[in-house]
Amino acid sequence: MKLLRMLSLLLVILSLAACSAPELPQSTQPIDTGVDPDAWVTIPAGEFLYGQHEAETDVPYDYEIMVTHVTNAQYAAYLNQALADGTLKISGEQVVGYYPGDAFSGKKHEVEISAGDWPHYPVNAKGTRIQYSGGQFQPLPGYENHPAVMVSWFGALAYCQAQGGSLPTEIEWEKAARGTADNRAYPWGNFLERNQANYYSSSDIFEKVLGKGGDTTPVGFYNGQTFAGYATLDGASPYGLYDMAGNAWQWTAGITPGTHDRYLRGGSKLDYGYNLRLWTRNSVRPDYEGPSIGFRCARSGQGSTTE
Amino acid sequence: MQALSDRFSFLFRSTKGLVLTAIAAISLATAFFGMLSGPMEEFGIKAWMIKNLGLSLLPQEREGRIIILYHTIAMAVVAIETYLITAQVAIKKSQQAMINATITVGYLTSFIFGLIFAYFGHNYVFHGLFIAGQALIFFAGVLLTAALWPWGKAYRTHDPEKAHTRGGVDLERVAFFLMAAATLGSALFGAVPGSMFGNGFETFLAEDTIRQPEKTALDLAIIGHLHIMLTLIAVALTLIVGRWLDFKGKLHKWAMPLMIVGTLIITAGVWSVVPYEATAHIIINVGSFPVLIASALLVAFGWRKITRERLAELKITRPNFAQKLRALLHDPLRFGALWQMVYMNFVVTFVGIFMAIKLDEIIRMWPAREERVALTGHWHVLAGIIATIILLYYADLAGLKGRARQVFGWVVIFFSDLAFGAVAVFETKRLFVDEISQQPLVNTVILLADIGLASVLTALAALMVWRLIDLFKGRGRWKQELAETGLAASEEVNQ
């Protein structure tokens, strides 16, 4: 009976603990990783092994892709510019912009993405690291070089188009992450060490704040250097791209046939390590804004809005 | 030498010994391979095992490894159910010996060589033996189905307490027979696309294809296969528990036709998934209903029987509600096996129905990986519940009595339900909490699930150690169990 009472008490305590919402940090430790978020690399034309089952795939053109995710600083600057020139506007609690729509065939589970204004970024919502105040968007202190998350697919595409590019196709994304040498599962090889990428329970310094699900890490954090006493391993891809495994999922141009979900690649801080394997797909509606979803852009590629 | 021979006979020829061996094999696999994921991975145990035990865990082969692990454990469960059926249902002694021997060699071959192939480097001889083992299991299934043929004159019954046709065909036997036949067909349903692996058909986990609107015929066959096999394992177990509790009377007469019809409809629905995917779901849902009703009738019968028997033991003729409740709960093994069937509805059936109804409105608003978590949790819980029912039955077979029976039974019920409930909350967490605020809830439910599973595994380990120690005794329980011909619950076994 005593044991039963103790167990019941433990359950009540745990249940109360489960209901308590964590305090979200309004700033974080600033870390300069030395990796330039404005840098792009050129991926040369040629074949590579695509997917888990190593399909030989040719990409017959050169293309450029960003070395890192788009950061909060970059995205905040873009939002301010786009609001000023009227490309985007604030409607209610959302930054919205025009999208010409997807072709719709009325299949089961198909969601209609019609022409019109679609959400790009939530204004001061829980999880955003860019605050809107006094008519300006501003990154939270310390989060300037973290990936911009909570950006919808529409918002990511519009940003990339403003840079003269688009979102990478899944093939472009994977080639940039994997290189051409072999069928590696991660950008650096076949084995995932805890201090090589930001994933669930990877024990990075940011997990001390928000627990195992952690927080985003600054772009290029896993570059072999030591930050705040935490030694990282180099997680760069063969082409020198950072965070192609973990930190924040990345929107791609790929659209799920028949449903209009958009494909995501790379895994995130909230996923177990196996989700960081390069061929792992995630997908969600293009208006979804998630705290573990970011993006990077490609140029001269074939990413399009009507794939 | 005689001592070894006797023990070998117990472990590989007697029903209780065979069940014990299979449970021990599953326990070892669970203990070993459980170290490769979840909290054990977070504690660094996986990394240690890879380094020190020579495991070969290429990330490209993860799905294949998991498929082989699921199959080896499922084969051992199928073997356990087969042993119980051949002991409970009237068949010839020679048939029982042949079926049990074939399936034992089959599942052990698959188990040993499949796991070595999957986790310790690819040796294709071992893969061949894994397949050969499964072929033997299939052949044992053919023998079992033939042995269960219900229309032979020898197995007709006119027992007024049992469901039968006017001509005396035993409807419970028909239910067993159809379940076995459906299992054979459903195994082929997976084996045909399985034989195409490596010939252009690529390994995949079904939960990774959920948002893929257009699936190939082979994809659909694999998805259908895994669903129907788990369903038929559950149907078989319900029938087995019915035999254990000597299910009979009016409820039996209602339940058996429902079980037969439901099994046929579900199987037909799943088999039609390849050509008629959209309508197949409706057929499957229709078929599930009579099976669930049949199970509910078994639960009603069983709980009433347990209560009445206990009240009679206590010589209470006019019990009040509290006395009835105490009588119902006095035997956690028999009560628990039925309770787990009821609890399954809360953590599996209702969750599944909710997800199906709210698919477009709620579930498909989440990222695919969130839906995947829900689906994976869903079927892990179902498989776990099946395992706990088998454990409770085995504890009864093993003769667990007194305080040990109470402690084992209640630990399995309470802590497994705690774990399954926690997993059900985890898999549907997005209904209660958004991603940015989820960590406290996740920490709590994962902790509860780990406490629950660890407690059940500890109880299982204690049971296994008890039986292991018993094997070293010259006149242990094993000796007595070896001498038994069938299972105590059934009086008409093995003509």
Distance between CA atoms of residues B391 and B409, nearest Å? 9
Q: Looking up tokens 């797909």, which residue turns up?
A: A281
Evaluate if residue B23 carries a pLDDT over 70. Answer: yes
φ, ψ of residue A197 to 5 degrees: the values are -160, 160
Sign of CA dihedral A154, A160, A165, A168: negative
Determine whether the interchain pair A211/B439 forms a contact, defined as Cβ–Cβ distance below 8 Å.
yes
Determine whether the interchain pair A126/B212 forms a contact, defined as Cβ–Cβ distance below 8 Å.
no
Distance between CA atoms of residues A10 and B140, nearest Å? 48
User: What global pTM score does this model have?
Assistant: 0.92
**pLDDT band of B2, cuts 50, 70, 90:** confident
DSSP category for residue A305? T
Distance between CA atoms of residues A178 and A277, nearest Å? 10
Amino acid at A147: P
Evaluate if residue A306 carries a pLDDT over 50. Answer: no
Q: Which residue of A has its CA nearest to B61?
A: A52
DSSP category for residue B348? I
Q: Which residue of B has its CA nearest to A13?
A: B444
Q: Which of A4-8, B99-103, B123-127 has the highest mean pLDDT?
A: B99-103
Q: How is residue A84 written in tokens?
A: 């000023």
- How would you classify residue A228: left for phi > 0, otherwise alpha for psi between -120 and 50, otherwise beta? left
Determine whether the interchain pair B435/A292 forms a contact, defined as Cβ–Cβ distance below 8 Å.
yes
B211 touches chain A (CB under 8 A): yes
Evaluate if residue B488 carries a pLDDT over 60. Answer: no
pLDDT of residue A209: 76
The residue-averaged pLDDT of A200-229 equals 90
The residue-averaged pLDDT of B249-268 equals 97
φ, ψ of residue A130 to 5 degrees: the values are -120, 120
3-state SS class at A133: strand
Amino acid at B231: T
Query: B277-313 and B217-244 helices cross at what angle (nearest 10)?
Result: 10
Q: CA triplet A75, A268, A196: central angle to 5 degrees?
A: 105
Distance between CA atoms of residues A87 and B277, nearest Å? 45
Q: How is residue A36 written in tokens?
A: 């330039």
Closest approach of A211 to chain B, Cα-based (Å): 7
Closest approach of A300 to chain B, Cα-based (Å): 29
**pLDDT band of A210, cuts 50, 70, 90:** confident
Closest approach of B447 to chain A, Cα-based (Å): 9
Closest approach of A69 to chain B, Cα-based (Å): 20
Determine whether the interchain pair B437/A22 forms a contact, defined as Cβ–Cβ distance below 8 Å.
yes
Q: Which of A10-19, A201-210, B19-28 has the highest mean pLDDT?
A: B19-28
CA dihedral B94, B97, B103, B108 (to 10 degrees): -160
User: For residue B202, which residues of chain A lie inside 8 Å, CB to CB?
Assistant: 52-53
Evaluate if residue B483 carries a pLDDT over 90. Answer: no
User: For residue A105, which residues of chain B lie inside 8 Å, CB to CB?
Assistant: none
pLDDT in tens, B404-419: 999 999 999 999 999 9
B437 touches chain A (CB under 8 A): yes
Contact A217, A204 (CB under 8 A): yes
Closest approach of B377 to chain A, Cα-based (Å): 15
User: For residue B435, which residues of chain A lie inside 8 Å, CB to CB?
Assistant: 127, 270, 290-292
3-state SS class at B444: helix
